[in-house]
Amino acid sequence: MKHKTIIEPFKIKSIEPISLSTEAEREAYLKEAHYNTFLLNSEHVIIDFLTDSGTSAMSAEQWAGIMKGDESYAGSRSWFAMKKVVEDLTGMEYILPTHQGRAAERIIYGYLGGKGKTFISNTHFDTTRANIEFSGAEAIDIPIAESSNFSSNYPFKGNIDTEKLKEVINTREAENIGAVIITVTNNSGGGQPVSLKNTKEVSELCKHHNILLVLDCCRVAENAYFIKHREPGFEHKTYEQIAREMFSLADGAVMSSKKDALVNMGGFLALRDKKIADACSNLLIITEGFATYGGLSGRDMEALAIGLKEVFEPHYLEYRIKSTSYLGEKLHEMGVPVVMPIGGHAVYVDAKKLYPQIPVHQYPGQALACELYLKGGIRTVEIGSVMFGKYDKTGKLIPAPMELVRLAIPRRVYTQSHIEYVIETFEEILKTKSSVYGYKIIEEAAFLRHFTAKFEQLLN
Ligand code: F0G
CB of residue 256 inside a 6 A radius of ligand 1 = yes
- Give the pLDDT band (50/70/90) at residue 190: confident
Ligand 1 pocket test, pick from 259, 382, 411 with the greatest ligand atom count within 8 Å of Cβ, gives: 259
Say yes or no: 104 and 48 in one domain. no
CB of residue 323 inside a 6 A radius of ligand 1 = no
Beta strand 454-457 with 439-443: parallel, antiparallel or unpaired? Answer: antiparallel
Question: In a 3-state reduction of DSSP, which class is residue 391?
Answer: strand
| Distance in Å, CA 186 to ligand 1 centroid | 11
| Distance in Å, CA 387 to ligand 1 centroid | 14
- Atom index in ligand 1 nearest the CA of residue 258 equals 13
For residue 420, tell me if it sits in a domain.
yes
- Give the pLDDT band (50/70/90) at residue 66: very high
Say yes or no: 37 and 66 in one domain. no
Say yes or no: 387 and 301 in one domain. no
pLDDT for 460 beyond 90:
no
pLDDT for 89 beyond 80:
yes
Look up the pTM and report it: 0.95
User: pLDDT at position 446, please?
Assistant: 85
Write the CATH number for 290. 3.40.640.10
pLDDT digits (tens, 9 = 90+) for 261-312: 999 999 999 999 999 999 999 999 999 999 999 999 999 999 999 999 999 9
User: pLDDT at position 2, please?
Assistant: 85
- Amino acid sitting at position 208: H
Report, as an integer, the average pLDDT of 442-448.
Answer: 88
Share of the chain above pLDDT 90, in %: 94
Ligand 1 atom 12: residue of nearest CA = 101
Q: Kindly give the residue spans of alpha helices, DSSP state H, lying in 75-216.
A: 77-90, 101-112, 126-134, 162-172, 196-209
Report, as an integer, the average pLDDT of 192-202.
Answer: 98
CB of residue 268 inside a 6 A radius of ligand 1 = no
Question: In a 3-state reduction of DSSP, which class is residue 164?
Answer: helix
Give me the residues paired with residue 320 across strands.
none
- Give the pLDDT band (50/70/90) at residue 447: confident
| Distance in Å, CA 127 to ligand 1 centroid | 7
Report, as an integer, the average pLDDT of 190-198.
Answer: 95
Residue numbers of the domain that contains 124: 60-310
pLDDT digits (tens, 9 = 90+) for 314-362: 999 999 999 999 999 999 999 999 999 999 999 999 999 999 999 999 9
- Give the pLDDT band (50/70/90) at residue 6: confident
Say yes or no: 322 and 267 in one domain. no
Report, as an integer, the average pLDDT of 2-27.
Answer: 94
- Give the pLDDT band (50/70/90) at residue 19: very high
CB of residue 218 inside a 6 A radius of ligand 1 = yes
User: pLDDT at position 375, please?
Assistant: 98
Order of strands across the sheet that contains 177-183: 94-98, 267-271, 252-256, 213-216, 177-183, 118-121, 138-141
| Distance in Å, CA 88 to ligand 1 centroid | 23
Q: Which of 310, 326, 344 is the last residue of a domain?
A: 310
| Distance in Å, CA 256 to ligand 1 centroid | 6
* 236 C-beta neighbours (distance < 10 Å), count: 7
pLDDT for 189 beyond 90:
no
Say yes or no: 46 and 151 in one domain. no
For residue 14, tell me if it sits in a domain.
no
- Provide the b/e sequence for 312-331 (b: ≥16 CB within 10 Å): bbeebbebbbebbbbbbbbb
The C-alpha atoms of residue 49 and residue 327 are separated, in whole angstroms, by 12
Share of the chain above pLDDT 70, in %: 100
Say yes or no: 270 and 333 in one domain. no
Say yes or no: 199 and 292 in one domain. yes
Say yes or no: 306 and 320 in one domain. no
On whether the CB atoms of residues 193 and 226 are closer than 8 A, the answer is yes
Give one DSSP letter per residue of 204-230, joined into a string.
HHHHHHT--EEEE-TTHHHHHHHHHHH
Report, as an integer, the average pLDDT of 90-102.
Answer: 98
Q: Which of 266, 285, 310 is the last residue of a domain?
A: 310
| Distance in Å, CA 6 to ligand 1 centroid | 28
For residue 3, tell me if it sits in a domain.
no
